[in-house]
């Protein structure tokens, strides 16, 4: 347990967000080409995402802050996957939303 708490909660949230990103990527791949193997890997990625979330909430113990930071991280990663990998378009309002999301991460990290 000490090892889990020795790593900063932000690092755990980044790892969790990366697993979430893998799950989102594979979900999109499944939507484009439905195969059962994608379902298996999506479930694995989202499970690992949840498991790496637990040390963060254990360490910080403030759901409002940790949950918001995680939500914004996963939102940004999801947008990046859609735009960069799958060539989805992002509107001007979407870009403003991403900028505001970054600001919220900074403010919540300082809290």
The domain in which residue 38 lies consists of 2-110
Q: Record the pTM.
A: 0.82
Give the list of residues 6+ apart from residue 7 with CB closer than 8 angstroms, or none: 55
Q: What's the pLDDT score for residue 98?
A: 82
Q: Which DSSP symbol is given to 83?
A: I
Residue 111 is predicted with a pLDDT of 63
Domain count, the chain: 1
Strands (DSSP E) along 1-111, which ranges?
none
71-101 pLDDT per residue, tens: 888 988 998 999 999 999 989 998 898 888 8
Question: Which pLDDT does position 2 carry in this prediction?
Answer: 83
Report pLDDT for 96: 93
* pLDDT > 90? residue 23: yes
């Amino acid at each position: 347990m000490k090892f889990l708490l020795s790593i900063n909660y932000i690092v755990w949230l980044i790892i969790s967000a990366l697993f979430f990103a893998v799950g989102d990527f594979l979900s999109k791949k499944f939507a484009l080409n439905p195969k059962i193997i994608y379902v298996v890997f999506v479930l694995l990625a989202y499970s690992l995402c949840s498991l790496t979330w637990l040390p963060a909430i254990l360490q910080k113990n403030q759901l409002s802050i940790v949950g918001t930071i995680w939500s914004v991280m996963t939102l940004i990663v999801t947008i990046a996957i859609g735009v960069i990998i799958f060539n989805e378009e992002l509107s001007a309002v979407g870009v403003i939303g991403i900028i505001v999301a970054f600001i919220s991460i900074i403010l919540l990290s300082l809290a």
